[in-house]
Amino acid sequence: MHDKTLTELAAGLAAGEFSSRELTQALLARIDRLDGDLNSFISVTAEQALAAADRADAARAAGDAGPLTGVPLALKDIFCTEGVKTSAGSRMLDNFIAPYDATVVEKLRAAGTVSLGKTNMDEFAMGSSNENSFFGPVKNPWDRDAVPGGSSGGSAAAVAAGLVPAAMGTDTGGSIRQPAAFCGITGLKPTYGRVSRYGIIAYASSLDQAGPMARTAEDCARLLGAIAGHDLRDSTSVARGVPDYTEELDAPLAGLKIGLPREYFGEGLDPAVESAVREAIRVYESLGATVREVSLPHTHYAIPAYYVIAPAEASSNLSRYDGVRFGHRCDAPADLTDLYKRSRAEGFGEEVKRRILMGTHTLSEGFFDAYYKKAQQVRRLIRQDFLDAFDEVDVLMGPASPTPAFDLGARKDPVSMYLQDIYTIAINLAGIPGISVPAGFVGHRPVGLQILGTHFAEARLLNVAHQFQQATDWHLRRPALAEETL
């Protein structure tokens, strides 16, 4: 059962081929057997999962099942989950048991899904390799010497290894799309405001967005339909109806206008990655699409703008972790100042401290106008670049990352790590949706094709991705680990 997509599992449950309990037990056994090496999970909630599976089976027996009832999945450990440790990959929250469910968790629970546990991640979602976790790095199922990408690397690795058919991630600067590319799965970052952020531990509030990670675009369409929608508890959630994202999946692509940003195919792009991406685009041409070059002239400002805005927001959001209210507290503080200093010094990892310092500096008197305000002005220009491009084309395409997955420990310089997000960060600054789909390999490490659309064009992106997956088999490839059976 572990080799089936979420859609196939849902169909199997509906046909009575197996029960949710049987499916859940099988996947829990795989996690127990295989995840010790991958380290993709922080917490496995077996008891709660089996109870949820039994409820799903009872609902199905009573004729009260929905499309996702009984389907197992996993949650990035950044979604508050009532009664379950929610750590954000940090020592700071290693003892935090969430007292309520995030809206995404609440919606998935209402849809009848079964959560198997919480997946590993870069601490507070800060990183591109999943090496910044207090709980240790995650390994890529395709090559355990390689990173899975970050910060949603645990979710990506768990799906790629066949431990779960799907998982939830969050994307602040590429943290769904880049690990999806590195692990050879499909990952969707929705439009900012399409999915509620309530109950998601905040990194950068104007950039964070939750989304699904699964094997196929069809799976992502089903999950997005379950989690999208307005939420009064989140002031950034958009009051807009939720369509059936599966309805347009089979629409033909004849006449589709694809734009290739020239800035995405220049210096720094691995030639083998470029070759795989261009071959994928030729598949689209064979499906009736037309291709033209476009320009996003402010792309080269995206990383500097992001690394002003995101750390500034992180500095503000993480100020609440002070050793007083919740989270890690140092032993035997001498006074209140010592409590604050040592609790934060002990609780936060190196990369989180680096970004807090950067953000505090840019928000300080004398630097706010020079850095933060200027970065927000650049952000507006980047957003306008995308809007201008979408006046000419339907979607944009390019690589999700300039390289395939790199080796564990290979990127010790923070700047070289930040440059891994060159093709993903601008999308978060603009608030538009993007999806990464498997599109080839460099050696035995996957390559992701990134497809971008204008605001709230998720249905179109999913259609474009799905049609590619009907014409190719990259999404069907599995690492050797995923082929192992019990």
Active site residues: 76, 151, 175
CA angle 433, 400, 35 (to 5 degrees): 100
Dihedral of CA 99/103/105/107: which sign?
positive
Distance CA 443, CA 404 (A): 9
Query: End-to-end distance of the chain based on CA atoms, in angstroms?
Result: 11
Counts of helices then strands in the chain (DSSP H, E): 16, 11
CB 5 within 8 A of CB 13: no
Tokens standing for 401? 């990352």
Measure Cα distances from 239 to 224, 231, 232, 242 in Å: 16, 8, 9, 10
By DSSP bridging, strand 395-399 and strand 257-261 are: parallel
Distance CA 187, CA 180 (A): 5
Distance CA 369, CA 363 (A): 9
Q: Determine phi and psi for 26, rounding to 5 degrees.
A: -65, -40
H/E element, 162: none
Q: Which of 162, 167, 183, 216 is nearest to 485 (CA)?
A: 162
CB 331 within 8 A of CB 347: no
CA-CA-CA-CA dihedral for 366, 369, 371, 374, to nearest 10: -170
CB 461 within 8 A of CB 451: yes
